[in-house]
Every structure is written in structure tokens, then in C-alpha cells.
Amino acid sequence: MSSPIRRIAICTGGGDAPGLNAVIRATVIAATNLGWECYGIHEGYNGILFPERYPDGGVFKLTRDRVRGIAHLGGTILGTTNKGNPLHFPIRMPDGTVKEVDRTDEILEFFGRRELDALVSIGGDGSLTIAHALAKKGLRVVGVPKTIDNDLDKTNTTFGFDTAVAFATECLDRLHSTAESHQRIIVVEVMGRYAGWIALHAGISGGSHSILIPEIPFNLDKVAAKIRERDNQGRLYSLVTVAEGAKPADGHRAVLQAAEIGHEERLGGEGERVAKALQEITGKDARVVVLGHLLRGGSPTSFDRLAALRFGAAAVRALHEGHSGIMVALGFPNVNYVPLEEVAGRMKGVPLDCDTIQTGRDLGICFGD
Ligand code: F6P
């Protein structure tokens, strides 16, 4: 562990989030300033697990020039994937069945062979769980918390979240006038599989009248009552923000595609269900807008960009100080280090007693309960 660092690798895993390129840029510049070389791994760990797919052998050199002018760009110059977790890699057997194998030893072997001394792994829960497993096997690893969903524990916020909230808020701002002009209900579905952070923050900021999140199973009669209450006050339109993972108290999440080996379940359709049901209950015209992947695109806000740049610089600092098996986290006022074991496999939902939910309730927003 104490051998000097000369070369590091960077990987981005899971769904992309605005700010990934800013982390890459800061990591490369800070590392280069220390005299280290940087390499980017293609598409999560695919560059290592399938080197034959890439003309450069799966990793490519990241120089100062290569990361010039990328901090404001969405996506990731490394590519990413949310399939093929190396801890549970799906392999099709000759009899047609699929079994999962652990391929992390191949990653360690690759690092040894290519003389890569450390890894900066930028990702959400899945990527940080892999990073934790690699660290336990002896690889020098620092994790960086990414996800628009903001559902990672031990960091005040993840980068990507603020950008998603800002965009969803702008969409809600725009929908007020058209909903009001037509006296409609407009349901806005946002991402958020198991945590309702985006729906909660954008819903309150954007003046939504009801907000449905996975943490609070909902009853649509309550939402309909809120719509009628507004109607009685002469406010003849209503906006309802729904997290994709929200579910009725007496039902299930809307699943587009069930989970199978190597793939998580795909959610979607809750907004449509809610709009249809509210139209039936209230007799008002309802429309649905699904923001989906629009929330993951575009330039990171200055908040996310700065957080991402701070994370990248801090990851290099952490390695230089001799840390491994940690995640850089946003504390206040400084970035701090948290053991990966305290992060891996833990999901941070919206606490029901948080003041943001209370603020919503104080503003008269209906949470469907
Ligand atoms: O990044 C997390 C997330 O945005 C979830 O909220 C969403 O369910 C998921 O990614 C969808 O990812 P994809 O369509 O890329 O599989």
C-alpha cells in the first residue's frame, strides 16, 4: 500500500450525471501536478473486462490536453455502463442458463500488469460497492459520489443532483402557465428509483401542489381532495410531481421491465398511472410529462461543477496522503473522507422528519398521505 504512486486509472460507472467530466478534469490536473500519469478506463470496467473491443486495449492516457475544456460538458468522456457489474457478472452457460461470476480478480490482474497503482472510481451505490470490494482485495481505491438521485449516504449531496433539480424546477415553472390556461392537472414524472430527493426539491422549488415520493406511499384520494380544494378557491389547475419510484399505499411501483441477472428493474409509468387515475377521480383533464433522461443531460450547474472539481482534487489529495478504501464526501465546510464500507450498499432516502418535507407541508403541499 505504501509504494509510491506513478500511474492512476479513473473509471465512471452507472448512469451518467452532469459533473463527471469535471471530476475527471480535476483528477487529471491534480495528479499530473504531482507527476502521476492518468489513464481512463472505457465504459465502467468494460475496458478491462473486454480489452479486445477497444483499439487502445481498454484504457487510454488522460493528459492535461485531453481534459481541457470539459468541466462544463455533460456525460463522461470515458463512457459508462450500468450493466455487467464485475462482482456479479452474468455468464451464459452452454445449457442456456445464466450464472453470475466474480470478475474482480481480472481487474486486479490488469492493474498489476499495466502498472496502475491506484483507482479513482466515480459512481453511485453500485460502483462504490465494487470499489469497496476492490479495496478489500488490496487495490488502492478512492471513490467519488455521483448520482442525480442523491441517494448516497455519508455525503451531504452527490454531484449531478443540483443540475437535475434545477432543470426539473425550470420545467415546473414553465408548466404553470399552460396548466392554468387549460385548467388542467399536469403530472410531472421525474427520476428517483428508491429515493424522492429530485421530486421533493424540484417539486417545492417549482411550486408543485402535490409531490409523491417513494418514501411516502400515497393515496390518490388525498391528491384529488387537494385538487378540489384548489378548484374551490378558484385555482383551477394543479401540478403534481411524481418520483418514478413512488407507489400507492395499496399497490406496487410501476415497473417497465422486471429485474433479471445483470440488469436492475427499469421503472417508469407511474406518472401516466397517476394522471389517468386523477382524471377519472376529479373529472378534470390531465396530462403527463416524463422528464426521464433529460434530467441526466446538459451542463452541470455551478454548484455541481464546483462539487465535482473539489471531489476530483480531493480524490488525488486523499491518495497522495496515503488513503485508500475511502470515498470523498461533501461535508461542511470541507470535503471529508468516509470509509467505503460505511457507504457501500446503503441507500439514503428522504428522512420523513426532515425540514424540507415539513416546509412542503407548511406550504400546503399534499404528499398523498
Ligand atoms: O441515475 C439513476 C437513475 O437516474 C434512476 O433514477 C433511474 O431509474 C435510472 O438511473 C435509469 O437509468 P437507465 O435508463 O440508464 O438504466
Structural domains in the chain, sorted by start? 7-159+300-342 (3.40.50.450), 164-295 (3.40.50.460)
Q: What pLDDT is recorded for position 297? A: 96
Grid coordinates belonging to 123: 459512481
Average model confidence (pLDDT) across the chain? 96
Of 12, 80, 81, 191, the one to substitute when testing ligand 1's pocket (max ligand atoms within 8 A of C-beta) is: 191
Q: What pLDDT is recorded for position 260? A: 79
Average pLDDT, integer, range 59-71: 98
**Bond preceding residue 333 cis, omega within 30 of 0:** yes
Q: Is 191 a pocket residue for ligand 1 (Cβ < 6 Å)?
A: yes
The fraction of the chain above a pLDDT of 90, given in percent, is 95
Q: Is 82 a pocket residue for ligand 1 (Cβ < 6 Å)?
A: yes
Encode 217-236: b = buried (16+ Cβ within 10 Å), e = exposed: ebebeebbebbeebeeeeee
pLDDT digits (tens, 9 = 90+) for 227-263: 999 999 999 999 999 999 999 999 999 999 998 777 7
Quote the ligand 1 centre to 247 CA distance (angstroms): 17
Residue 206 has pLDDT above 70, yes or no: yes
The fraction of the chain above a pLDDT of 70, given in percent, is 99
Q: What pLDDT is recorded for position 279? A: 98
Q: Is 208 a pocket residue for ligand 1 (Cβ < 6 Å)?
A: no
For residue 264, which atom of ligand 1 is closest to its CA? 16
For the entire predicted model, the pTM comes to 0.96
Indicate the pairing of strand 255-257 with strand 266-267: antiparallel
Q: Is 15 a pocket residue for ligand 1 (Cβ < 6 Å)?
A: yes
Q: Is 150 a pocket residue for ligand 1 (Cβ < 6 Å)?
A: no
Instruction: Name the residue with the closest Cα to ligand 1, atom 1.
Output: 15
Q: Is 18 a pocket residue for ligand 1 (Cβ < 6 Å)?
A: no
> Are the CB atoms for 145 and 124 separated by under 8 Å?
yes
Q: What pLDDT is recorded for position 263? A: 77
Of 82, 200, 257, 291, the one to substitute when testing ligand 1's pocket (max ligand atoms within 8 A of C-beta) is: 82
Q: What pLDDT is recorded for position 112? A: 97
Quote the ligand 1 centre to 111 CA distance (angstroms): 29
Q: Is 148 a pocket residue for ligand 1 (Cβ < 6 Å)?
A: yes
For residue 268, which atom of ligand 1 is closest to its CA? 8
Average pLDDT, integer, range 197-202: 98
Q: What pLDDT is recorded for position 368? A: 98
Catalytic choice (16, 125, 149, 151) = 149
Instruction: Name the residue with the closest Cα to ligand 1, atom 12.
Output: 15
Cα dist from 87 to 48, 50, 181, 262, whole Å: 14, 15, 52, 10
Quote the ligand 1 centre to 191 CA distance (angstroms): 7
Residue 107 has pLDDT above 90, yes or no: yes
> Are the CB atoms for 56 and 21 separated by under 8 Å?
no
Q: Is 368 a pocket residue for ligand 1 (Cβ < 6 Å)?
A: no
Residue 1 has pLDDT above 60, yes or no: no
Residue 360 CB partners (closer than 8 Å, separation 6+):
200, 203, 204, 211, 367
pLDDT digits (tens, 9 = 90+) for 109-163: 999 999 999 999 999 999 999 999 999 999 999 999 999 999 999 999 999 999 9
For residue 192, which atom of ligand 1 is closest to its CA? 6
- 149 is annotated as an active-site residue: yes
> Are the CB atoms for 5 and 118 separated by under 8 Å?
yes
Quote the ligand 1 centre to 140 CA distance (angstroms): 28
Quote the ligand 1 centre to 202 CA distance (angstroms): 17
Q: What pLDDT is recorded for position 142? A: 98
Quote the ligand 1 centre to 194 CA distance (angstroms): 11
Q: Is 299 a pocket residue for ligand 1 (Cβ < 6 Å)?
A: no
Output the CA torsion 268→270→275→277 (10° steps): 140
Q: What pLDDT is recorded for position 259? A: 85
Residue by residue, DSSP assigns 120-187 as: EEEESHHHHHHHHHHHHTT--EEEEEB-TT--BTTSS--BTHHHHHHHHHHHHHHHHHHHHHHT-EEE
